[in-house]
Amino acid sequence: MYKAALSEHPSYSEEGLRIIFVEDVVDDAELVQQELRRSGLAPSLLRVDTEADFLAALQTPADVILCDFSLPDFDGLAALKITREQYPHVPFIFVSGTIGEELAIQALRQGAYDYVLKDNIARLPSSVRRALRESHERAIRRRTEEILFAESTLLSAVFDSAGAVGVMLNAEGRILRFNQAGEKATGYASDDIRGLCFWDIFFPPTQAQNEKERYLSADRSSFPLQFQNQWLTKDGQIRTLLCSVSVLENDHFRTVFILSGIDITQWQEAEEKVYRLSHFDQISGLPNRAVLRDRLEQAALRNDPHAGSVVHILVELNGLARLRDALGAQAGVALAIAIAGRLQAWKPPGPTTIAQYADRVFAVLIEHVKREDVDAVVQHLLRTLEAPYSIPGQEEIHLQPKIGIALYPDDTRSAESLFHFSEVALHRAQNSAYEHTQFYTRSFNQEISARHVLANQLRQAIQRDELVLHYQPQVSLKNGKITGFEALVRWRHPERGLLPPAEFIPLAEESETILALGEWVLRAACRQCKQWQDQGLPPVMIAVNLSAMQFNEKNLRVLVGHVLEESRLDAHHLELELTESVSMDDPEKSIAIMVHLRKLGVTLSIDDFGTGYSNLGYLKRFPVGRLKIDKSFVRDLVDDPHDLAICRSVIALAKSLRLEVIAEGVETINQLKLLHAEGCDKIQGYYFSAAMSAEECTSFLARDVSLPLDTIRRLPYARSLLIVDDEVNILSALKRVLGRSGYQIFTASKVADAFDILSRHHIGVILTDQQMPDMPGTELLEKVRYMFPDTVRIMLTGQASLEAVTQAINQGAIYKFLVKPWDNAQLEAVIHEAFEKFEATLRA
């Protein structure tokens, strides 16, 4: 349809243009014609100065109409009204020296395309060209809509005779037409459902909203849509239809959806039966080996080594064959079904396949498993299968699982080889009287063994006092003072030196050593905090992390009370940090635990806030005093609008709930300045200090080391202009032109430098080129829009996609669009106007 319309309106041309100029001053008309010709336009320009002459001139269509605003015997607005009535699609441009701002706005509202002042007549050619291009595009769109309407009419004529189910919907989804095939398939009569909402008739309430969004929320460019769908008939049966949906829009701007569907219910039922017979075990109902191989090949294709390995586990339960022989085939079938059900219930989160590998052998295929987590997964599976089984008519049955494991791509990159290697590992496990699990690779077994050794050494390390605490300062952004420390545990390993917590905390959680470790950290941190107080140092808070296992320990409140009593530390100097995920696992239980802890007088905080899935309804009930913004959001705070938005939201949320906010992982001055400007209360990170020994912290407190706030406060507002362009000569020229206006001018040749300046200074206006090497100007201004919404955004470029710029303007990312080479006076006027706009927001 668009091509048909385009053939009637060939590509845009400036040849043979006819312009009518309503003007009583001959010299002004000649000046306009000279300016148009100088710019490359050579129109036939007809000057008229009376209403009668204007009406006569309109007998021959014009491409553009120019008009002075004030005429001795004629009025510009009257000429505009005549044009709108007779030729509403012809661009009308005022060219005047007397039109004021209010009259100009009135003229634009009544349909004028633009107005050009006679003392800035150099702008007229570009205005005429834009008007001609837009008029050309509108003509094509109008013809396209006419063709679409004609085709819609033709479609309606043949609609009712179609053999497939046919439904026609209006823009709100109400049924306009319903053909005979649809009546036959669904049992609904057309007259009974016409005017009713389509998704309310043929779909249950749980599915109706999704269907509504499919039609009303889909991008129009994605049509026609093809999909398979299930409809409800009048008597409640489910029919499967293969559907196709197209969309029509006529010149009345009414959307019409045309849906056609083929009823494939019986064919699909037959196909599903054949598929299940060939791809699933008939006893357990699990996928068979063919499906498993296909899943493995798919997993191999999408495997990301950084995300982990693909683990293939074979499981055989010793004694299953003997029990089947002793108790009969039916008992064997019941046991097989029970094992399959238990495996399905155990299935870990993430992509996992449970399959019937062979008779009495089951398979588990798990994707994205970290090497260090494989042993924990296998041990959990082992415990699940060791639990006794119950089948009708029999006492509890105990089966001993034997497990063989192979990994992709650690062991092999072939599906068949992986199957073979896991079979070898299973065979080795079957032959061992003591080992229930066996990995194929010797090196991996050695690694697992090493982890077991390290876990045992950790238990001994707690007893031998090989652990040590380091402390990272937490600093107030109100006065720059140290207000507290977070206690972070280290392990002085006798052979490997000082180990960070990432190397042994996961082991502690797996082996339940975390309870003893957490108690040690709590006692040591409280003793140290009290020691600083006894030394006469400024009082500070000490923050201690609680693990999930600690938090759920029933004696936690008693333990905290004993530790405070032993250390003689006032409870209000202790802060316990809970991860967001732990606190939301069972919110009601978490609230009860928190209330007990708060009764002791300790402060509670939510650590790593934003990384979990908090329910705000529960969060407002948590008796916490502080939220900690996770460092993953602080890392790219300066140049990522999403991270800045998250930080702003957390700060705003905390303020509304009267909570303090502390940001972790602050490493740069720019991060610090933005957080300070957004109202963050405290920071913690390498910018101020890494975690230190107790002795170093003592020195910090004794010397009253603080954060110099003068370095992070934004300077008082000045008219600050940021110019972004990768061409040095352009930056110099712009500084030379705009410098005489007294602006404080910053320049950047890279986008990264621009964000650096924006984070450190109160920028009122940003002027950028489009063709930047590291990011298009439209994308830069879109980010600035979200991160610094009051900053006025202007694009100055010689090369830009009209579509991209138009979209950016429509979305509000660009305030003005200027073209290189620029007119100095126009540029200065636009920048001046932009600063007035920015300063108006400051006064609001």
Question: Which CATH number is 778's domain given?
Answer: 3.40.50.2300
What is the DSSP pairing of strand 400-408 with strand 309-318? antiparallel
Residue 796: pLDDT band (50, 70, 90) is: confident
Indicate whether 448 belongs to any domain. Answer: no
CATH of the domain at 674: 3.20.20.450
**Residues 659, 516 within the same domain:** yes
pLDDT of residue 723: 93
Task: Enter the tokens of residue 402.
Answer: 């034997």
**Residues 533, 556 within the same domain:** yes
**Residues 509, 642 within the same domain:** yes
Q: What is the mean pLDDT of residues 318-343?
A: 80
pLDDT of residue 706: 92
Identify the domain boundary among 79, 112, 142: 142
State the burial class of residue 570 (Cβ atoms within 10 Å of its Cβ: 0-12, 13-18, 19+).
Answer: middle
Which of 91-95, 465-469, 589-593 bottoms out in mean pLDDT, i.e. has the lowest?
A: 589-593
Q: What is the mean pLDDT of the chain?
A: 85
Q: What is the mean pLDDT of residues 526-552?
A: 91
**Residues 551, 685 within the same domain:** yes
**Residues 138, 165 within the same domain:** no
563: pLDDT strictly greater than 60: yes
- Strands (DSSP E) found in 287-388: 309-318, 352-358, 361-369
Residue 715: pLDDT band (50, 70, 90) is: low
pLDDT of residue 714: 65
Q: In percent, how much of the chain has pLDDT > 90?
A: 23
pLDDT of residue 15: 82
- Residue pair 604/597 in contact (Cβ under 8 Å)? The answer is yes
Task: Enter the tokens of residue 185.
Answer: 């398939």
- Residue pair 792/834 in contact (Cβ under 8 Å)? The answer is yes
Indicate whether 462 belongs to any domain. Answer: no
Which of 197-206, 238-247, 277-286, 693-702 bottoms out in mean pLDDT, i.e. has the lowest?
A: 277-286
Which of 60-74, 210-224, 380-394, 805-819 bottoms out in mean pLDDT, i.e. has the lowest?
A: 805-819
What is the DSSP pairing of strand 165-169 with strand 114-117? unpaired
**Residues 215, 100 within the same domain:** no
**Residues 541, 648 within the same domain:** yes
The count of structural domains within the chain is 5
- Strands (DSSP E) found in 550-665: 574-579, 603-609, 626-629, 660-664
Task: Enter the tokens of residue 340.
Answer: 């399959």
Residue 544: pLDDT band (50, 70, 90) is: very high
**Residues 627, 776 within the same domain:** no
**Residues 24, 80 within the same domain:** yes
Helical (H) or strand (E) element with 473: strand 467-476
Which domain range does residue 176 map to?
160-268
Q: In percent, how much of the chain has pLDDT > 70?
A: 91
Residue 611: pLDDT band (50, 70, 90) is: low
Q: What is the mean pLDDT of residues 316-322?
A: 80
How confident is the model over 15-58, as pLDDT tens digits?
888 999 999 888 888 999 888 888 888 888 999 989 888 999 98
Q: Which amino acid is at 134?
A: E
Residue 531: pLDDT band (50, 70, 90) is: very high
CA-based torsion, 682, 684, 686, 692: positive or negative: positive
Q: What is the mean pLDDT of residues 77-99?
A: 88
**Residues 528, 578 within the same domain:** yes
Q: Encode 238-256 in three state secondary structure.
A: EEEEEEEEEEEECCCCCEE
Indicate whether 226 belongs to any domain. Answer: yes
Which of 266-280, 308-322, 759-773, 810-824 bottoms out in mean pLDDT, i.e. has the lowest?
A: 266-280
**Residues 116, 217 within the same domain:** no
453: pLDDT strictly greater than 80: no
**Residues 294, 252 within the same domain:** no
Helical (H) or strand (E) element with 642: helix 641-656
